[in-house]
Amino acid sequence: MMNLIDEGGKRLDGRSFDQLRPFSMQAGLLKSASGSAYIEQGGNKILVGVYGPRDSRSRYGTNQDKAVLRCRYHMLPFSTEERKSPQPSRREIEISKVIRDALEPALLLEEFPRSVIDIYIEVLQSDGGSRGASITAASIALADAGIPMKDLVSAVAVGKVNGHLVLDLSDTEDKEGEVDLPIAVMLNSGLITLMQMDGKLSEDEFRQAIDLAMAGAKELREAQRKALVQKYFKEVDS
Ligand code: ADP
């Protein structure tokens, strides 16, 4: 087992167990998307553009009662250590689906029948936990697009490394640790919209891991809110 925690109880990057990686978020940076966001979290650099709601042109895939939400999570060839093929991998197809499903419960899609909303996620650089950072950023981009939402969705992975529960796994902790547990939550209602677990936890550890994730999500949610407020005041100023 790789040593991921030092004698002082610090992680490889110097963080404590319950500490998020450094992060920053920005809303509304793209001119031609309906809404957009950029997030950095650890070494992740992720850009999200939302298009829509707009009228659905095709009969196939149109819903008479609500907007259809579509999502593409894509990693650029230079986003990983080894060049990634630009073709969508099975992993990217699966992650696109789980991200879509994590965001849908937050959106009032009934307000836009017969239309589509597209979320395009481009991972410029990845560093573990990219699905969580993508959800957090996509949520900002959807709000920036003016799509009515019940709440923002905030997401982060928790896990277990060298027997310790830790918040916001780095790429190395994700690969070398015992457990990876990404979680997305709508904090207002406490609704969990994504949870995937790799590895094993006792029930007690599981409860502690959820608490850790909730605390992390709360911090991220505050930054999501701030990014949106900042964008709004920029518009008022100009
Ligand atoms: P997440 O990014 O949500 O943690 P995974 O657990 O599948 O998703 O991936 C963990 C990390 O592994 C990614 O953030 C990325 O840095 C790296 N990775 C994923 N796919 C590839 C790939 N095809 N080639 C190289 N590295 C990859």
Rounded-to-integer distance, Cα 233 and Cα 20, Å: 27
pLDDT means over runs of 10, the chain (238 residues): 93 98 98 98 98 86 92 97 93 98 98 96 98 99 98 98 98 97 98 98 98 98 98 76
117: domain CATH number is: 3.30.230.70
80 lines ligand 1 (CB under 6 A): yes
Domain that includes residue 128, residue range: 23-237
44, part of any domain: yes
Q: What is the DSSP letter of 64?
A: S
Nearest CA to ligand 1 atom 11: 128
15, part of any domain: no
Q: Which pLDDT does position 200 carry in this prediction? A: 98
134 lines ligand 1 (CB under 6 A): no
Atom of ligand 1 nearest to the CA of 81: 25
Query: Total structural domains in the chain?
Result: 1
Rounded-to-integer distance, Cα 66 and Cα 222, Å: 29
10, part of any domain: no
87, part of any domain: yes
Q: Which pLDDT does position 220 carry in this prediction? A: 98
Pocket-testing residue among 125, 130, 168, ligand 1, by greatest number of atoms within 8 A of Cβ: 130
Write the burial class of residue 229 (CB in 10 Å: 0-12 exposed, 13-18 middle, 19+ buried).
Answer: exposed
Nearest CA to ligand 1 atom 2: 130
8, part of any domain: no
128, part of any domain: yes
142, part of any domain: yes
Q: Which pLDDT does position 56 carry in this prediction? A: 86
2, part of any domain: no
